[in-house]
């Protein structure tokens, strides 16, 4: 059976791997954002991802729409379900300044009807505090019961990307947004999500980030992942302004065979590495 039934206003960008029934060795990984829902079946015993599906939406319209997309998974009996938020409402705190208080997050984003969570990132002595729409939490918990939550920034920070450059700008693309993680001099200076419509929007944000953080373009080690291809207009535009451009390295967790480049799946790979 297919894990997802096709729904109106949902465009499936890729659906790869084998639709095996879930077992005690399988975990369900879900990345949910405003414009997409990615589902992946992770086999812990073999350290492989057996199935990945990426559904793109103009915008997640309702909790009922999400619930209908997730219901086919309910019958497959996964050992665990992890929901990774790709919503932009998140803040990083030094450990010593976080006390389970989400007031600053609430004031900064002025969020209606949200549930609040936080991830501890011990390697960097940080806490990632974030919010998810209450309706999204209700939908996934109604379908699966108990779930674990993470935010997409957390795996990106925790999982070593294989690059040792001092000035790294990691950029992960979805269909309408991209996440930026800036590491400079062994310190995390920025993690943020931006929306875009054209390649020049992306160039503008990245140049602005370099300027604000005193990073010369020729020194910036740009690491690309997600929905960006070497033959795309987006990549061509980036080449006009940045000289050190690299795609994310091949993951150590096995992926399904696919015609797509491995960096398309970096976000899901990082999530699997965090829950393995």
| Domain definitions of the chain by residue range | 1-162+266-276, 163-248
Coil, strand or helix: which one is 74? Answer: helix
Q: Give the strands of the sheet with 167-173, arranged side by side.
A: 187-195, 177-184, 167-173, 221-226, 244-247
Which one is the CATH code of 163-248: 3.40.50.1370, 3.40.50.720, 3.20.20.150, 3.30.420.260?
3.30.420.260
Q: Would you give per-residue pLDDT tens digits along the chain (276 residues)? A: 344 444 547 788 999 997 656 567 889 999 999 889 999 999 988 999 999 999 887 766 567 778 888 887 777 778 799 999 999 999 999 999 999 889 899 888 887 889 999 999 999 999 999 999 999 999 999 999 889 999 999 999 999 999 988 899 999 999 999 999 999 988 999 999 999 999 999 999 999 999 999 999 888 999 999 999 999 999 999 999 999 999 999 999 999 999 999 999 999 999 999 987
Contact 116, 81 (CB under 8 A): no
Q: Give the strands of the sheet with 10-17, arranged side by side.
A: 10-17, 48-57, 36-43, 26-32, 80-85, 148-151
Q: What is the pLDDT of residue 62?
A: 63
pTM: 0.93
Q: What is the pLDDT of residue 2?
A: 44
Instruction: Look at the block and give the residue holding tokens 């879930």.
Output: 22
Q: What is the pLDDT of residue 112?
A: 81
Q: Which of 173, 144, 141, 147 is nearest to 13 (CA)?
A: 173
Which one is the CATH code of 1-162+266-276: 3.40.1190.20, 3.40.190.10, 3.30.420.250, 3.60.20.10?
3.30.420.250
Same fold, 1-162+266-276 and 163-248: yes
Residue 122's φ and ψ, nearest 5 degrees, are -60, -35
The torsion region of residue 226 among left (phi > 0), alpha (psi -120 to 50) and beta comes to: left
Coil, strand or helix: which one is 164? Answer: coil
Q: What is the pLDDT of residue 72?
A: 76
**For residue 263, what is the DSSP state?**
G
Contact 174, 87 (CB under 8 A): no
Query: What sign for the dihedral angle of Cα 17, 153, 58, 115?
Result: positive
């Amino acid at each position: 059976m297919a894990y997802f039934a096709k729904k109106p206003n949902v465009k499936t960008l890729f659906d790869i791997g084998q639709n095996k029934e879930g077992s005690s060795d399988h975990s369900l990984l879900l990345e949910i954002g405003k414009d997409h829902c990615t589902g992946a079946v992770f086999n812990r015993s073999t350290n492989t991802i057996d199935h990945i599906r990426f559904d793109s939406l103009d915008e997640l319209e309702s909790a009922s729409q999400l619930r209908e997309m997730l219901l086919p998974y309910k019958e497959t009996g996964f050992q665990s379900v992890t929901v990774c938020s790709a919503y932009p409402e998140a803040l990083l705190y030094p450990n010593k300044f976080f006390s389970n208080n989400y007031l600053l997050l609430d004031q900064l984003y002025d969020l209606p009807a949200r549930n609040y969570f936080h991830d501890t990132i011990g390697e960097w002595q940080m806490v990632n505090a974030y919010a998810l729409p209450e309706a999204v939490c209700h939908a996934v918990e109604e379908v699966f019961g108990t779930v674990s939550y993470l935010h997409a920034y957390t795996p990106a920070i925790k999982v070593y990307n294989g690059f040792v450059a001092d000035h790294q700008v990691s950029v992960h693309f979805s269909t309408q947004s991209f996440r930026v993680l800036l590491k400079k001099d062994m310190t995390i200076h920025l993690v943020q999500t931006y929306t875009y419509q054209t390649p020049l929007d992306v160039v503008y944000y990245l140049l602005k980030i370099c300027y604000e953080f005193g990073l010369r373009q020729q020194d910036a080690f740009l690491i690309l992942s997600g929905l960006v291809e070497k033959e795309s207009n987006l990549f061509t535009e980036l080449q006009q302004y940045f000289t050190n451009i690299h795609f994310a390295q091949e993951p150590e967790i096995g992926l399904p065979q696919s015609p797509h480049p491995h960096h398309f799946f970096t976000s899901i790979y990082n999530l699997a590495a965090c829950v393995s």
